[in-house]
Structure 1
């Protein structure tokens, strides 16, 4: 046949053209080998997936979603959230695959997207008071993908779990760690698992208490159907009630989003979000100054015990809290410490650092309580990942939002930008310096004509490591309701290594 030689000739010609273009773009000093190797290019991501958990199932709640992408990238883009099926809906769909076309005809058009983004730099908000609102699967593409963030905030005015519950919608993954969950009678903690893909995922859940792994068979092999959400009550996978647990979520196949909703009879409700990956040290930023109780929960997933030195980075520097100088956490077990009156009126960040040569990775989070007696509310602060370049907190209102910026090592210069509101307004920005070993509380920059919710974008300009969180507060019925979200880097830019054409690959 003659097609083989012709194909090889065409392929060689195409490679020669490509090689020629590459040669034309090589810098002069690199052409003769005299210059250093070219660094990898940094380009904006072109697609981002985020998953928002199913809100608490209550008739007394209202949930607001705020979608936002920082301005900066040119070109077209889309960003929207679509409802995931519930477990029962997914089962019904699986039983009726042969009638899929008829079902679509009966249901009508596809569901409308939630808070579809119209342009970068301006947030879009949507609100629902629907009991049992679904989890959401979100996708941003093109110019809307780099740095896309979605905040889900639910206000529950009465009943178990009443309070302000905030969740930063997160990317799917195959593994998550949580600290601070509970299976006691006063708490109802659910883990919400959402599968964004077109194939089913299989997930294992493991709980760890003060004595080690919790015996359970019901946490293994949980099926999460395609593009669906499954809710699991943690007390159903634990034979004995226990407080201050660590939870490990691991996908055997596929990937999921995971978040834990905790509802307490006395302390209200909020979301536990995943901690950063287990590491020998941890930074937990943004403990409110008026916290009446701070509970530290530490789990050691490895084979060695962990010895941790404790520092509190406040507005004026770092101290070693009296009575809480160090933590010894045993391998495979979960340790909790009640740190009463830790902050003493000043916002701070807890810093855990290995001591005595300890290298054991740890999982850590705080349960923070504000208020007194029957007017208390709780929130959680997981160990945070550092902000390498940029991060965004969506869903703010001018009087209700505060940023906590922590610099555990060197000083950091930071730019904070407030976007226009979702209904109207102008942006504003400020530059701040976070002194070494401190936590700086930042109010939103004053904007003009802001209506609706807005976003706060934090950019690390120079200096050492930066950790950040955002607190939302709302007084309701005399209860100081609040929620805290840590702010990891948005990973809007990725490195793409340079590559050169090598025609030797055509030689056998």
Structure 2
């Protein structure tokens, strides 16, 4: 008997038989195996999203600050499958699981908004079923005065474990706060690595940060990186998932100079593109982060409305190892809406900070990855026209977009070609209520974003609205490798 069991073929057969009896062969084989690729890798199968959870941050307390969240389960392209079952509402609720919902997404294509409130609590949009696929939300606050004067608006974040922010600061005149939100029922732990102009910072207080279940933790950059004017942050979860956001309150002396959230930047790569630098006057500051151990030589290409060009005197930038570098771009942009492509011999990432012409309000746009599916964005009510900026950083590309109102009526729609290396502008009229936008890449590489700037001559009682929203591929499908048969694992 011992000799018989020493034969590997017999042992394998016995294990397969046993597992087949106990759990069925489907438990150890893939019902839909991954497709082998020419390079030997496996193509991930696509699984329809049937569960969503988004974290919607809010700023700190401030005079007359009003906050609202708008969410939508958007209309998906024809033929896109959704999860089975009836359409269960998605709830918009405080983090505390015992709290009552403050809003609900009831039907696909209909925007749901919470009532504006001065009770500043972070919210979550969550639920399961057919409405989950593609669901997006935007958190927006506004205030006519005080530390939160202006508009702060940011897409609600899907929790994860790896995030980058570029363009933060711990210098005087900035009050930047990293807000970590945990939507799950177990604690999460996070490490934050900071990079400054002189290299990576030693910040032990940013390591092993515990984010309580269904709660938040805050890290004040002025305390852990005091005096550091330009920063990049790498947020990594070592246990659990988090949804990070960086809140930025700026001042000039004692005068408020705007509030907003820093948009996420794409992970470091040899080529990154920052889309949607707003047209008009004001400052445009590009910050490049090099987290590697080697100096990076980066070349800049501006993607303007008339095509690409190398900015005179700024086309090549040296970024020391483990540091950040700042480049002023407003003089070369000449007020044109543009994107900037950064090619580097070392992986880098980037973001642009843009202000209005008075330099009293600002917004940021991080590097984004090319669209690989439809991108959806909820736009809050806006008193001035908003501008969709679409860039083809490589060859000529095709794109289509649809702007819909809260009742799912199409307000504006178009297909267009974007010349390789150029940026196209599409203007949306001012809207008294939230709308939602769909942008879909048809061919080639496309990056995009939406910007909002105040009137050239605002009224005295106008709340200045400066905002920038990135367009990133929305979560309609999840990539998933099929399970491979591994009977030998039972023998180890």
1:90 aligned partner: none
* CA drift at 1:150: 0.6
Please report the RMSD computed on the Cα atoms of aligned residues, expressed in angstroms: 3.4
Contact 2:191 2:209 in 1 (8 A): yes
In structure 2, what is the Cα distance between the partners aligned to 1:316 and 1:301?
Answer: 33
The answer to whether structure 1 residue 55 and structure 2 residue 59 are counterparts is yes
The answer to whether structure 1 residue 207 and structure 2 residue 191 are counterparts is no
The 3 A distance-change label for structure 1 pair 114 and 439 is farther
2:5 aligned partner: none
**Paired residue secondary structure (1:459):** strand
Matches within 5 A, 1:266-345: 266=252, 267-345=257-335
Matches within 5 A, 1:385-396: 385-396=369-380
1:384 aligned partner: 368
1:482 aligned partner: 466
Matches within 5 A, 1:401-412: 401-412=386-397
**Paired residue secondary structure (1:251):** strand
The answer to whether structure 1 residue 113 and structure 2 residue 101 are counterparts is yes
In structure 2, what is the Cα distance between the partners aligned to 1:175 and 1:38?
Answer: 23
Structure 1, gaps ≥5 residues long: 31-36, 86-108
- Which of 452, 460, 464 in structure 1 is aligned with 2:441? 460
TM-score by length of 1: 0.81
The 3 A distance-change label for structure 1 pair 10 and 56 is closer
* CA drift at 1:389: 1.3
**Paired residue secondary structure (1:111):** coil
The 3 A distance-change label for structure 1 pair 261 and 499 is closer
| Residues 102-151 of structure 1: per-residue CA shift (max 9 Å, x gap) | xxxxxxx93222331111112111233324x1212332322112111111
Equivalenced residue count is 455
In structure 2, what is the Cα distance between the partners aligned to 1:505 and 1:248?
Answer: 36
2:247 aligned partner: 261
- Which of 376, 383, 403 in structure 2 is aligned with 1:418? 403
| Residues 325-377 of structure 1: per-residue CA shift (max 9 Å, x gap) | 111101111111222323212200011112xxx1x11121111111226xx21
- Which of 451, 458, 470 in structure 2 is aligned with 1:471? 451
Contact 2:149 2:463 in 1 (8 A): no
- Which of 222, 230, 233 in structure 2 is aligned with 1:244? 230
TM-score by length of 2: 0.83
* CA drift at 1:247: 1.8
1:104 aligned partner: none
